[in-house]
Every structure is written in C-alpha cells, then in structure tokens.
Structure 1
Amino acid sequence: MGLYYEVHGSGRPVVLIHSGAMDSRDWNFITPKLAKIFKVIIYDVRGAGRSPVPEAPIDHVGDLRQLLAELNIDEAVLIGHSLGGQIAVDFSLTYPSIVSKLVLIAPGLSGYQFSPEYAELEKQAAKALPDVNKMIDLTLSEPSWSISPGEAYDLLREMMRHNIQKTFEWKTYETVSLPPALGRLDEIQAEALLLIGENESKDLFRIAELYNQIPKIKVVRIPGANHIITLTHPDDICEHILHDLSLHKQEGQ
C-alpha cells in the first residue's frame, strides 16, 4: 500500500482524513489535543503529502481499509474534513461494521453535482496552470477559503502548493467507481456529528442539508468559521468532538 501515516496517543482508535488540496497537516492543531485521550491515526491519501502518486485508479475506500488492516484496527471513529468527510461516508457505507462513529467537518458527498458558480471557480483556477501561486491566490480569494495572514494561512498555502505540484506527477486522475452516497445516506448505521462553519459556501450548506437523511445525525454550526475550519477553529472542533464522543461512549456502556 505504502501510504504515509502516523499514530499518536493510545486508546480508542480515531482516524483523521484530510481535505482535498491538503494533507495530514490539515490536523496539525487538532491531533495533539485528541491524542491525549485517543489513539489518533493521521495519513496522507494517495497522491497527497508523503504518500505515493496514483498509478492506477484511486481507491480511497480500499486504501483506508488496507491501512486499518495493517494497524489491526477492527473498529474506529472516522473524522473527515471536506473530501475526507466524503471518503469517511463512502467507507461507512461499504464497511458499516468497522465504523463506530462519524464526525463530518464541512464534508463533501459523492454523487452531488456542484453549482455552476463552484464549477466556474474551479475553471478559473485551472486556467492559471501551471502558475501554482496564481491558482492558490484565486482559490483563497473565495470567501469560504479566505483566512487572515498568520500561521494557519502559511500552512494552508504550503499544503496547497505542495499538493497541487504533486498532481503534475500523477499517472492517472481516475477514481474507482463506487455507488454514490447521495441517495443512500439513510443506510448509514453509525451515529454522526456534522460540523460546518457559518461562513461556508452555498454548495456545502446544501450538502449539509442532504446529510440530514442520516438517521442519527447532529448538525452544529461554528460561528465565524468557513471551509478552513480545521486550521482556524481547532479548539471549537475538539470541544465538540470530545463532548460528542464522551456521550457516545456513555450511551454504549
């Protein structure tokens, strides 16, 4: 498999799955807090960070299954941001017995058709190729991605620069075809917590509404946050995760 991963702390397994255009550093401000209580696994999805580039159609669900098998983990909490949330949901639908809890942070959703406005932003960014810095500037000019200069901003730019440049080395951009989660959300058995910033994009709010189809889900809006919530509001995220997992543990006893 060869994916890059790290294990921090001990206890109940919690797997953190990062956003697209980012890598496991998406969790830099969150991992240390959760690792005080849980066994936290962070990893770079195929094609990102320090993981290898795709040489065959990308299978995020299969990669995660292999990672958990390698670590001898039979059950885990999955926490995913954006693309990571989408992967967590697809995994939950494929391997429901392995997922004890879902935490979805501004998640994507397989099968969802993004608006023309969102598609136009992606089109403008693609036109800037191969000027990576211009692509990043265009993306960060969008309100749901815009954050103030500082440590989080510098980290975000570095992750985006590294991972956009890495896509130039990919052998394929295809993904393994799976039944889309859209239309199947009512099949999810695990309890779910969805966190979303109040300053998110319209598309992500529409996706959040669709996630209400999960039978056991709680949705929380984080004041002042946008799509970069993991870097700008880590304390809020950790507070909600720790509280929710504590309640979940008590109910399961």
Structure 2
Amino acid sequence: MDLYFEITGNGHPVVLIHSGGADLRQWTFLVSLLAKNYKVIAFDGRGAGKSPSPIKHANYVEDVLALMDHLKLNQATIIGHSMGGQIATDFALNYSERVSKLVLIAPSLTGFSYSKEFEQYHNKILENAPDIDKMLELALHSPTYQVVIDSPHKDLTVQMLRHHFERMLKWPTDFCMKWPQPPGIERLGELNPKTLFIIGKKDLADNFQVAGCFRKVPNIHFIEIKDADHMLPLTHSKDLYQEITGFMED
C-alpha cells in the first residue's frame, strides 16, 4: 500500500475520504471525536498530502478498495466529503458489500453537469497557474469558503489548498481521473447502503442540485446544517459528530 494513512481509536472501522484541494488534515477535529468509540482510518488520496503523485491516471475508487484490503477490513462505514463523497458514492455502488453505512458530506457526483459559473470559477483559477498566490486569492473568493475564511480554521484551509496547488502543478500533463462506468448519477437508485447526506445551508447552488439527484437513493436521510458553507469538516465537526454517531448507532 503506497497511500499514506493514519489509524486512531478502536472499534467498528470508519474510513474517511477527504475533498479535493485538501488532505487528511481536514478530518483532524472529527477524528478526535470519532476515535472515542470507533477505529478511524484517514488517508491522503493519491496526489494529496503525504501520498505519492499519480503517474498518468488515478482510480480513487480502486484506491479505497486497495486500502481496505490492505487493512483487512471486510466492511466499514465510509464517510466522504465533496470529491471524497463522489468517491464514496461510486465505491458504494460498485462494492456495496464492503460498506456498512454511507455518510456523504456535500458530495460531488460523477456525471453531474455543473453550471457555467462553477466551471468558469475553476477555469479562472487554472488560468493563473503557476502563480499560486493568485490562484489562492481567486479560489478563496468563493461562497465555498465564506464561513471557514472567517473562522479559526482559515490558516489550515489555506495551507491545504496551497499544498494542493503546488502538487497539482507537477502532475503529468496527460493526467486523468478514472471513474467507474456508467456514472454515479445514472445509478443512484441502485445505492444499497443506508445513507446519510449532510450539507451546509450556505453551500453552492450546484451542490444543492447534486443533493436533489440523491433523492433517488432508496434509503437516505438528509440533514442541513445552518451557518455552514462547504467546509463543514473544519467548521462544524461537533455537529457532524453528533449526526454521524446518531446515524451509525441507529
């Protein structure tokens, strides 16, 4: 196993999958809470944190499977945030027998068509490469970070995002992400594990549209957290802990 991971606590295993633009540090506060009663596995995705960079492509779903196999975890609760939620969803669709319960925190979704505004925002950031300071300035000027930017967790957010940009600029020019087919948006009705969907009320409109797609999931419960943007694992770890543990113990 070449991915960097950390294990904290004992009990039923919980695997945490971080968002794009971040690494396992985004789970720092939630891990300390969950580890009181669970075995918590947080890892850096390929190309993030202390894990190796991708060569030509990355299959993040298969990476989760390889990690669980390496740790001899037959089944675990899977928790994913943003792109980590996208990975978690596709993993649960393809390996449902390995997922005891599924927690999605403001997930993205394979096959979802994002708005022009969303695409323009990301394109503008990339157009300013390799000026990382300018990329950071543009990235943080978004509703995605409207709450966390005024919180005690601003510095950690900036550190993770800067590290992400620095590493991303060194990836191969032909790098691509490999996702299972057909895309998740076409298969949500097949999602078997009991699912908890959490989103901040101040998140992007696109992410609420994604939430609407998840209404197709047979056994899903939705929760909105007030005064939260997209970065709930940093700003609302206690709220997440209460909702997740209640869901897991139900």
Give the aligned partner of residue 189 of structure 1: 192
Give the aligned partner of residue 69 of structure 1: 69
Moved more, 139-148 or 23-32: 139-148
1:105 aligns with 2:105: yes
Q: Secondary structure at the match of 1:237?
A: helix
CA distance in 2, matches of 1:149, 1:212: 32
Count residues in correspondence.
Answer: 247
1:40-119 alignment to 2 at 5 Å?
40-119=40-119
1:168 aligns with 2:172: no
CA distance in 1, matches of 2:102, 2:229: 20
Q: Which amino acid aligns with 2:239?
A: D
1:200-211 alignment to 2 at 5 Å?
200-211=203-214
TM-score where L is the length of structure 2: 0.96
1:93-242 alignment to 2 at 5 Å?
93-146=93-146, 147-171=148-172, 172-179=174-181, 180-242=183-245
CA distance in 2, matches of 1:167, 1:96: 31
Q: Deviations over 1:72-129 (max 9, x none)?
A: 0000000000000000010011111000100000001011111001011111111221
Q: Return 5+ residue gaps in structure 2 as ranges.
A: none
CA distance in 1, matches of 2:189, 2:17: 22
Tell me the C-alpha RMSD between the 2 structures: 1.0
Give the aligned partner of residue 29 of structure 1: 29
Distance 1:177 1:104, change over 3 A: closer
CA distance in 2, matches of 1:68, 1:232: 28
Q: Which amino acid aligns with 1:125?
A: I
Give the aligned partner of residue 250 of structure 1: none
Q: Which amino acid aligns with 1:47?
A: G
Give the aligned partner of residue 251 of structure 1: none
Give the aligned partner of residue 7 of structure 1: 7
CA distance in 2, matches of 1:136, 1:230: 20
Q: Deviations over 1:49-92 (max 9, x none)?
A: 00000013101011111100110000000000000000001001
TM-score where L is the length of structure 1: 0.95
Q: Return 5+ residue gaps in structure 1 as ranges.
A: 248-253
CA distance in 2, matches of 1:87, 1:101: 14
Percent identical among aligned pairs is: 39
- Shift of the alpha carbon at 1:149? 3.9
Q: Which amino acid aligns with 1:223?
A: K
Q: Secondary structure at the match of 1:51?
A: coil
Q: Deviations over 1:7-63 (max 9, x none)?
A: 000100000000000000110111000000100000000000000000131010111
CA distance in 1, matches of 2:213, 2:197: 11
Q: Secondary structure at the match of 2:143?
A: coil
Q: Secondary structure at the match of 2:184?
A: coil
CA distance in 1, matches of 2:232, 2:76: 23
CA distance in 2, matches of 1:56, 1:43: 21
CA distance in 1, matches of 2:194, 2:32: 24
Match of 1:244 among 237, 244, 247: 247
- Shift of the alpha carbon at 1:177? 4.0
Note if contact 2:130-2:169 (Cα within 8 Å) is conserved in structure 1: no
Q: Which amino acid aligns with 2:214?
A: Y
- Shift of the alpha carbon at 1:169? 2.0
Poorly superposed stretches of 4+, deviation over 2 Å: 146-151
Q: Secondary structure at the match of 1:28?
A: helix
